[in-house]
Amino acid sequence: MMDILFLVLPETLLLDLVGPAEAFRLANQQLQARGRPPAFALRYVCAQPQASTSIGLHLTDLEPLPDALPPGAWVVLMGRPGVKDTLPMLQRNGWMGARHWLARVVAPALALETPDGEPAHRLLTVCCGTLLAADAGLIGRRQVTTHHEHLDTLAALAPQAQVCANRVFVIDGPVWSSAGITAGIDLALHCIGDVCGDAIAAAVAEIMVVFQRRGADDPQRSPLLDGRNHLHPAVHRVQNAVCERPGHDWDVPALAEVAHVTPRHLARLFKDHAGISPRDYVERIRSGLAEQAIARGLPTSQAVEIAGFGTDRQFRRARARLRGAAA
């Protein structure tokens, strides 16, 4: 499993911690429900064995700060109470010790790469956790974001960085930064999709009732996320089933059986909640998956087979229908 180390400071904003942590925990649960091994090992590290949080709740049995990161580990930096232009308030209670540990242990790890050129570790920041990363010298010239109240402070701490305003989260190499609080959940869902696939991320979002997943200014959203901005459980059951098994023989009766409703009622539900017919939804998922596979360099014949189409001709016809409907 991949180790995720949450760096806990005194007065850590609790939602910045438990929001992403619950998303990763639920991802493990969804993976195990599908017969797959869990992907994330959640760990909570601190200079002291216990720490207070923003709401007064105390966390205990915290791990000591490690002298080295486990292979492939992620480090999560979180926010703490503060208001605009009050960096001295943020830098109290353990900030300097955390900054020293980040510079000594995490900074060298972020410079490492896997054999295929990917970052060997990842730094996730929520809210003014980005300020802590900047203060520790982990940002450099990268694109980053933070809570809108701290953008000027971030620019002052990392003058060479490209500070992005009005962004939910920003990804630049091993540094994944987010705007804060609920944006930390968006960032975690994106990480889950990156590691486990969008079907798992969508299932986690459904459980957490955050169906409108926000992206990092990415116009090429996964087709597995389309039509998910609703709360109807029967429609979500169908969408989950199609995303997990796009190659299944999904005629309308089979879809209705998953939803536990009649085919006619399912058509009404999809129109009202997803804005599309069940048949068009299946074709949209398959077409999107095929196009993604082709973009990754797979031959068209292999891509359409992976996506669930029987032939290249079926893929072309489905794509033409969808483009005609969009026009």
Domain boundary residue among 201, 231, 254?
Answer: 201
Q: Is the residue at 273 inside a domain?
A: yes
Q: Are residues 12 and 93 in the same domain?
A: yes
CB 187: neighbour CB atoms within 10 A? Answer: 27
Q: Is the residue at 214 inside a domain?
A: no
Residue 106 is predicted with a pLDDT of: 98
Q: Are residues 9 and 155 in the same domain?
A: yes
Domain that holds residue 287: 220-326
Q: Are residues 158 and 251 in the same domain?
A: no
103 CB-near residues (< 8 Å, 6+ apart): 136, 137, 138
Q: Is the residue at 213 inside a domain?
A: no
Residue 45 is predicted with a pLDDT of: 98
Q: Is the residue at 10 inside a domain?
A: yes
Q: Are residues 60 and 94 in the same domain?
A: yes
Q: Is the residue at 278 inside a domain?
A: yes
Q: Are residues 170 and 280 in the same domain?
A: no
| Structural element, H or E, at residue 155 | helix 151-157
Q: Is the residue at 300 inside a domain?
A: yes
Q: Is the residue at 208 inside a domain?
A: no
Interatomic CA distance for residues 189 and 204, integer angstroms? 8
Q: Are residues 92 and 178 in the same domain?
A: yes
Q: Are residues 192 and 231 in the same domain?
A: no
Q: Are residues 233 and 118 in the same domain?
A: no
Q: Is the residue at 215 inside a domain?
A: no
113: domain CATH number is 3.40.50.880
Angle at 189 between CA 184 and CA 190, to 5 degrees: 95
Domain boundary residue among 173, 201, 229?
Answer: 201
DSSP string, 57-91: PEE-SPBPPPSSPPTT-EEEE---S--TT-HHHHT
Please list the pLDDT of the chain residue by residue as tens digits (327 residues). 999 999 999 999 999 999 999 999 999 999 999 999 999 999 999 999 999 999 999 999 999 999 999 999 999 999 888 656 567 767 778 899 999 999 999 999 999 999 999 999 999 999 999 999 999 999 999 999 998 888 999 999 999 999 998 788 999 999 999 988 888 999 999 999 999 988 898 889 888 887 555 655 543 345 666 777 777 889 988 998 998 888 899 999 999 999 999 999 999 999 998 899 999 999 999 998 898 888 878 889 898 988 899 888 889 888 888 777 654
Q: Are residues 247 and 121 in the same domain?
A: no
Taking only the tens place, the pLDDT of each residue in 42-61 is: 999 999 999 999 999 999 99
- Give the chain's domain count: 2
281: domain CATH number is 1.10.10.60
Q: Are residues 314 and 196 in the same domain?
A: no
List the helix and strand counts (H, then E) for the chain. Answer: 14, 10
The helix/strand/coil state of 53 is strand
Q: Are residues 196 and 231 in the same domain?
A: no
* Beta strands, E only, 70-161: 74-77, 122-126, 143-144
Q: Are residues 191 and 77 in the same domain?
A: yes
